Structure 1
Amino acid sequence: MARAKRHYIPGQVWHLTHRCHKRDFLLKLKMDRRNWVQWLYAAKKRYGLVILNYCVTSNHIHLLVQDAGKRDVIPRSLQLIAGRTGEEYNMRKKRKGAFGEDRYHSTAVETEQHLLRCLVYIDCKMVRAGVVAHPSEWPFCGYNEIQMPKRKSVLIDYQKLAKLTGFASYSTFRETHKELVNESVTNRTFGRQPGWSESVAVGSRSFVETIHSKFGFRGKGRKVLKHDIGFQLREKHRTYNVEYDGRNEDIGSINTSEWDVNFE
């Protein structure tokens, strides 16, 4: 059955969260997290997905991307990554059934300072979970590549990341990024901030109100609220908990993606 049509707002930076089917720990093994990252690279090569950061946990993922103007790139990419990772997992485990939940949650993030804060939030995901002491110790996230850019098998769009965060050069961005992550780890300011994965949009009041207006009639019931991380466009219902590594954390509103795209 085709999925319901979803509203598409072009040209935005999106923080995506997608959980494993029924909150199962289907990504608990290194080989499966590694496969997910490899298929992320394949999505970049195949569809032109613009990747800014990512983190793979035991039962859900975080992905920060920029829409490049083609409405089907992001949903097709998520379909490819989850689908192929799931196929390989099911074949190895002799398992049947879906690997990922039917839908993912998407949050529009304003560029520059809000984007920089979202980057740090994603980087510190597994520190927050108590799995590692520093993001550099978790190989299934974008932190190490951001700090030590690759020449081959590049995932992160370095120059676009620097530009979108408001820096004139990548080296300046990289130093600032490193300082902010270290500061967050040292001062333990990496606590859970649900707005990054439960809101429809995060940023300044003008940014959030603009996103709200672009939803048109689909914006009904969504409220612009002020929170610690900035203004947010929120829904009052449809949140869920995600379990991982002995902890519980909300990561989004029932995987609701606002994309006007149909695909099988």
Structure 2
Amino acid sequence: MKFAKDRRRWHSWLFEAKKRFGLRILNYVVTSNHIHLLVIDSGPDVIPKSLQLIAGRTAQEFNHRKDRKGAFWEDRYHATAVERNEHLIRCLVYIDLNMVRAGVVSHPVEWEMNGYNEIQNPPERYGVIDMSGLRNLCGFTDPEQFAEQHRQWVHEAINNGKNQRESCWTESIAVGSSGFIEETKAKLGIKAAGRRIAEQQEDRFVLKEEHAPYNAGFRNQMGLLSPENSYFLDVSLLDFAS
């Protein structure tokens, strides 16, 4: 999706998924070759139905315009469970800085198709982000106070060099405290066989996939992406590529 019109069409279908299925969106960024989407899983079928709509219609429109056939998306989406609290905030900022890390822009305000601009200047119509839900999850009630804090988080991350790629957000099954990771592994039950808990930082743990890690290679066989490896989550970071 190297053209802005394709990224805008993806965004329009994201809005449609919000209306049609009640998808609760917290943040997003649409790049030329992949997408990050932070959502609250509000029902067993909300995320898969939403992404089926978004990905399917985006592919159909592109193929029709280009008079082409075949797959548009290289693989299914990968979902990472993110614990609420500071881990959610870190994930929020990580998504904001995607195009800064890529060297395309120096600040997320310069990239049109991302959630940063909507969080800072919520539109009166056609907004996709659940602003009240996002504020509550981040511990804020006042919109202006949250917008200011959000700007500060991003500013500090850029100035302190904390905008490097962190594989935990796109290569893990879950990110959070040790208790959250243990709970996630327990809920997966037998499906968690072969998966290990790793401590990345003093206060950050991840549940990793031993044999089928998600990476930029997008191998054809990726066990952690299948429905059999899933359960109902509160907050998820979704990552899928085109």
- Give TM-score, length-normalised by structure 1: 0.81
Q: Distance in 1 between matches of 2:188 and 2:231?
A: 11
Question: What do the CA deviations read for 1:152-191 (whole angstroms, capped 9, x no partner)?
Answer: 0010000100111122333322211110101111222100
Equivalent residue for 1:33, pick from 1, 4, 7: 7
Question: What do the CA deviations read for 1:207-240 (whole angstroms, capped 9, x no partner)?
Answer: 1111110001101111111103711111123235
- What is aligned with 1:234? 208
8 Å CA contact 2:188–2:231 kept in 1: the answer is no
User: Structure 2 regions of 5+ residues with no counterpart?
Assistant: 233-242
- Give TM-score, length-normalised by structure 2: 0.88
Q: Distance in 2 between matches of 1:239 and 1:254?
A: 9
Q: Does 2:160 correspond to 1:178?
A: no
Question: What do the CA deviations read for 1:106-149 (whole angstroms, capped 9, x no partner)?
Answer: 00001121100000000000000001110001111100000111
- What is aligned with 1:165? 138
Question: What do the CA deviations read for 1:38-67 (whole angstroms, capped 9, x no partner)?
Answer: 100010011000000001111111000001
Q: Quick one: which amino acid aligns to residue 85 of structure 2? A: E
Equivalent residue for 2:93, pick from 120, 131, 154: 120
8 Å CA contact 1:240–1:254 kept in 2: the answer is no
1:4-19 matches, within 5 Å, as none
- What is aligned with 1:4? none
Instruction: Sort the Cα spacing of 1:92 and 1:254 in 2 relative to 1 into closer, same or farther, 3 A.
Output: farther
User: Structure 1 regions of 5+ residues with no counterpart?
Assistant: 1-26, 244-248
- The alpha carbon displacement at 1:102 in A equals 4.2
Q: Distance in 1 between matches of 2:62 and 2:19?
A: 22
- The alpha carbon displacement at 1:255 in A equals 6.8
- What is aligned with 2:225? 256
Q: Quick one: which amino acid aligns to residue 40 of structure 2? A: Q
Give the structure with the larger helix fraction: 2
Q: Does 2:48 correspond to 1:75?
A: yes
Question: What do the CA deviations read for 1:3-39 (whole angstroms, capped 9, x no partner)?
Answer: xxxxxxxxxxxxxxxxxxxxxxxx1111111111110
* SS across alignment from 1:200: strand
Question: What do the CA deviations read for 1:59-84 (whole angstroms, capped 9, x no partner)?
Answer: 1110000011x211100111111100
Instruction: Sort the Cα spacing of 1:81 and 1:45 in 2 relative to 1 into closer, same or farther, 3 A.
Output: same
